[in-house]
A and B are shown apart, each in its own frame.
Chain A
Amino acid sequence: MHGTASSAPKIEIRGVAKQYHSARTVQALSKVDLTIADGEFVCLLGPSGCGKSTILRMLARLHKPSDGEIIINTAGGRVTPTAMVFQDYAVFPWKTIEQNVRFGLEMAGVPMPEANERTHRWLKKMGLSDFAKNYPPTLSGGMQQRVSIARALATEPEILLMDEPFAALDAQHRRIMQEELLQLWQEDRRTVVFVTHSIEEAILLGDRIVVMSARPGRIMAEFNVPFARPRSPEIRTDPHFAQLEQEIWNMLRDEVERAYGEGGHK
C-alpha cells in the first residue's frame, strides 16, 4: 500500500522513536513517520534539540532507532548509499584538506586516478585549491565546513544527508553555496535530506519542508514548496515566498519558545 509499483520511495521512516540513555534518559524523537521519494529534496526544520541530527544519524546508520523501522531502497553496489555533512564538520585534523576530501572516495573504493581527479575538482568548486596541503586547524570554521561538504559531495552518494551545512558560512558565501547546491542538485537529482534553521533556505532549496516540534521531536506539518524547477534564487522576491515563510514561522515560533522556555524539564 506504500506508493505505486513504479516508484518505490527512497526512504521510509515508520513510527521511529529514539531515546538516548546516558547519564539520564533523553527522549529525542517521539514517533516519526516520513516517506521520501527518490530524487526528492526534503528540508527538516525545527527548534534546537528536537532530534533533526538524530534522524540523519539513523539514516546514515550511525545510530539505530529505539522503536519503529527505517527502510532505505538503494540501487546497491556501494559501501554505503549515504554521505553526510556533519553539523560540527568532523574533518580529520591529522589529514590534509586534500586527504580529507579523498577519504570518502577511498572508502568507496574509487580507483586512485579518478579519486584524485574528483578530489581536485571538488576542492576547486569549494574554493579550497590553495589549501589542499594545509591541515584543518589552520583553516577558518567556514572553510572546514566546505571541506566537509566537498568530502560528502565528492562521493556522489545516492542520498545526501546535510546537517546545517551552511551554518558556519558568512552570509555572502552562504548564498553562493545555496545557489551552487541548487544548480548541482538540479543537474542530477539525488535524494537530499537537509537540516537547516533558516526557513528561507528551506524554501529556496526544498521540494518539501518538514516542520518538527520541540523535543521529543515529532512531525507537526509538511509544506510542499510550490515553486517550479529549475528554480532560480530570484524566487526570494516572489510574494508567495514571503507568504510561505510567514506561514511556517507562525507554526515554528511556539515550538521554539517551548524548546527554550522548557529549560530541560520533562
Chain B
Amino acid sequence: MTSQTETSPTALRIEPGMAERDPSTFLRRRGRVEFALSLATPIIFVLAWEFASRMGWMDKRFFPAPTNIFDSAVNMYQTGLLEKDLIASTLRILAGFALGVVSGLIAALALGLSRKTRAALEPFLSALYTVPKLALLPLLLLIFGLGEFPKVLLVAMTVFFQVWISCMEAILTIPETYKEAARSFGAKGWSMFRHVTWPALLPQLFINMRISIGIAVLVIVGVEFVQASEGIGYRIWHSWSLFQANRMYVGICVVAIMGYVFGYAVRWVGIWALPWTRARTKV
C-alpha cells in the first residue's frame, strides 16, 4: 500500500445505465452511430484529397482530384468499358474462389478425418503451399494457353491452401468432449460428421472464405496485369502505361469496392448460416 490519503466512507451505487434502461433505443442509436462512423472515414478521406488536389498541394498528374476520377468513371461506364472489365474480373474471381473452396474443403476433410491420408499428403501439400502461386503463372500459361482457365486456376490454388490448412486444423482441434458425447449416443461415420464435425468446422470455414475472397481479388489483379485483354487489373496496368491516371484510379477504387462487397457478402452468408455464433447478448 502507498501512503494513506484521507478517506471517508462512500456508498458505491451500481445502477442501470442507458443500455439497461432502454435497450432497444440504445441498440438502435449505437447501430446508427457505428453506421455513420463507417461512412465518415471514407468521406473525410475523399474530401481531404479533393481539397488538397484543388489547392495544388499534390501533383495532378499522379493524384487527380476525386471529382475528376469520378467523371472518368462515369465516362467509362457510359462507353461500357467498366462493365466489361468488371464482369470479366468477377467471373474469374468467383470461379476460382468456388473451385478453391470446394477442393480445399475436400482436402481438409480427407486429411482431417484420416490419419493415413494425413501422413501421406500433409508434408507434400505443405511444401507446395510455400511455392509463390504467382510464380507459377508463366508455367500455367505455357500449359493451358492464354485463355481463362490458367487465371481461374491460379486463384483456385491460392484459395485452396488457405481453406485446406485452416479447415483441417479446425477438424483436428474439435474438443474431445463433443466427440465423446456424440459417440456415447451411438454417433459414428456420417452422423458424427453431420452433428459434430461439420458444425464445429463451419465458423473457421467462413472466416477463411472471407479472407480468401480478398486474396482472390488480389491475385486476379496481379494476373491481369500480366496477361489479359480485359478486367480490372488489365485496366489499371493499361491506363498506367498510357499515362491515364484517372482511369487507373477508377480501377483501383473498383478493386477496393469489389473486395469490400465480396467480403461482406461472405460474412452475411456466414451470419445467416451460423445462428449459434450470434447467440451472444448484444448489451
Q: Inside 8 A of A93's CB, which chain B residues have their CB?
A: 276
B181 CB–A CB distance under 8 Å: yes
A86 CB–B CB distance under 8 Å: yes
Q: Assess the A137–B280 pair: CB atoms within 8 A.
A: yes
Q: Assess the A103–B280 pair: CB atoms within 8 A.
A: no
Q: Contact string, B243-283, partner A, CB cutoff 8 A, digits 1/0?
A: 00000000000000000000000000000001110011100
B180 CB–A CB distance under 8 Å: yes
Q: Assess the B279–A138 pair: CB atoms within 8 A.
A: yes
Q: Inside 8 A of B186's CB, which chain A residues have their CB?
A: 79-80, 107-108
> Which of A86, A104, A134 is B180 in contact with, Cβ under 8 Å?
A86
> Do A90 and B180 contact each other (CB < 8 Å), given the known contacts A108-B185, A108-B186?
yes
> Do A86 and B177 contact each other (CB < 8 Å), given the known contacts A62-B183, A80-B184, A104-B185?
yes
> Which of A79, A94, A151 is B200 in contact with, Cβ under 8 Å?
A94
Interface residues of A in 76-129 (CB under 8 A from B): 79-80, 82-84, 86, 88, 90-95, 103-104, 106-108
> Do A135 and B199 contact each other (CB < 8 Å), given the known contacts A90-B177, A90-B180?
no
B195 CB–A CB distance under 8 Å: yes
Q: Assess the B279–A60 pair: CB atoms within 8 A.
A: no
Q: Inside 8 A of B199's CB, which chain A residues have their CB?
A: 92, 94-95
CA distance A135 to B186 in the complex (A): 23
Interface residues of B in 175-199 (CB under 8 A from A): 177-178, 180-187, 191, 195-196, 199
A64 CB–B CB distance under 8 Å: no
Which of B184, B196, B280 has most chain A Cβ within 10 Å? Answer: B184
A14 CB–B CB distance under 8 Å: no
CA distance A88 to B178 in the complex (A): 10
Distance (whole angstroms) from the CB of B40 to the closest CB of chain A: 33
Q: Assess the A137–B279 pair: CB atoms within 8 A.
A: yes
> Which of B187, B274, B279, B280 is A107 in contact with, Cβ under 8 Å?
B187
Q: Inside 8 A of A60's CB, which chain B residues have their CB?
A: 184
Q: Contact string, B89-131, partner A, CB cutoff 8 A, digits 1/0?
A: 0000000000000000000000000000000000000000000
Q: Inside 8 A of B279's CB, which chain A residues have their CB?
A: 134-135, 137-138
Interface residues of A in 182-227 (CB under 8 A from B): none
Q: Inside 8 A of A84's CB, which chain B residues have their CB?
A: 181, 184
CA distance A86 to B182 in the complex (A): 11
Q: Inside 8 A of A80's CB, which chain B residues have their CB?
A: 184-186
> Do A103 and B195 contact each other (CB < 8 Å), given the known contacts A80-B186, A94-B200?
yes
Closest to B278 in A: A135
CA distance A62 to B200 in the complex (A): 20
CA distance A88 to B195 in the complex (A): 19
Q: Inside 8 A of B178's CB, which chain A residues have their CB?
A: 90, 92
Closest to A139 in B: B279
Q: Inside 8 A of A155's CB, which chain B residues have their CB?
A: 185
> Which of B181, B187, B275 is A86 in contact with, Cβ under 8 Å?
B181
Q: Inside 8 A of A137's CB, which chain B residues have their CB?
A: 276, 279-280
CA distance A117 to B199 in the complex (A): 25
Q: Inside 8 A of A108's CB, which chain B residues have their CB?
A: 185-186
Interface residues of B in 133-189 (CB under 8 A from A): 177-178, 180-187
Q: Assess the B181–A94 pair: CB atoms within 8 A.
A: no
Q: Assess the B275–A135 pair: CB atoms within 8 A.
A: yes
Q: Inside 8 A of B276's CB, which chain A residues have their CB?
A: 93-95, 135, 137
Q: Assess the A62–B280 pair: CB atoms within 8 A.
A: no
Closest to B175 in A: A90
A10 CB–B CB distance under 8 Å: no
> Do A107 and B196 contact each other (CB < 8 Å), given the known contacts A135-B276, A137-B279, A138-B281?
no
Distance (whole angstroms) from the CB of A23 to the closest CB of chain B: 15
Closest to B183 in A: A62
Closest to A92 in B: B178
Q: Inside 8 A of A134's CB, which chain B residues have their CB?
A: 279
> Which of A61, A92, A135, A138 is B181 in contact with, Cβ under 8 Å?
A92
Could you list some 26 contacts between A and B, CB below 8 A? A62-B180, A79-B185, A79-B186, A80-B185, A84-B184, A86-B180, A86-B181, A86-B184, A88-B177, A90-B180, A90-B181, A91-B181, A92-B181, A92-B195, A92-B196, A92-B199, A94-B199, A94-B200, A94-B274, A94-B276, A103-B195, A106-B191, A107-B182, A107-B187, A107-B191, A138-B281
Binding site for B on A (CB under 8 A): 57, 60-62, 79-80, 82-84, 86, 88, 90-95, 103-104, 106-108, 134-135, 137-138, 151, 155
Binding site for A on B (CB under 8 A): 177-178, 180-187, 191, 195-196, 199-200, 202, 274-276, 279-281
Nearest 6 interchain pairs by C-beta? A79-B186, A90-B181, A135-B279, A94-B199, A107-B185, A80-B186
Given A86-B181, A94-B202, list of 8 further CB < 8 A pairs?
A: A57-B180, A61-B184, A62-B180, A80-B184, A84-B181, A91-B181, A94-B274, A107-B186
